[in-house]
Amino acid sequence: ARVASVTVQSDPLIHGGKSVAAVDAIATVNASGRRWAIALINRDPTREIACTLKLGELSPNGRCSAIQLAGDSADAFNDIEHPHRVTPQKINLHFANGVAKLPPHSLTI
């Protein structure tokens, strides 16, 4: 119920003369401020992006349980012949000094 203030700094993703941030994020936090849910989006269709996350003065280190939605290409989709080509996967997201790598064209929560 509480959306946290998020500041995102990202290189632009340029297509057709227009640009948008390559990385976007949203965060929610519980009433005690101890449990966070953070969604990280890498819009770049071909490039893995190293994303730095800070929670105030804290930078996460180690593994974090996450759910990731990513396909084998930006054009990947599910159909009758390939119903599970793009499905959410439970992963361990690895942070080193607050930095985690986001696969191309992905959503990680």
For residue range 37-75, what is the model confidence (pLDDT) as tens digits?
Answer: 999 999 999 999 999 988 878 888 999 999 999 888 888
pLDDT of residue 22: 94
3-state secondary structure the chain: CCECCCCCCCCEEEECCEEEECEEEEEEECCCCCCEEEEEEECCCCCCEEEECCECCECCCEEEEEEEEECCCCCCCCCCCCCCCCCCEEEEEEEECCEEEECCCEEEC
Tokens of 92: 């361990």
**What's the pLDDT tens digit per position in 22-33?**
999 999 989 888
Q: pLDDT class for 14, splitting at 50, 70, 90?
A: very high
pLDDT of residue 62: 94
Rounded CA gap, 15 and 105, in Å?
A: 14
pLDDT of residue 24: 94
pLDDT of residue 106: 95
Say yes or no to pLDDT of 1 above 80: no
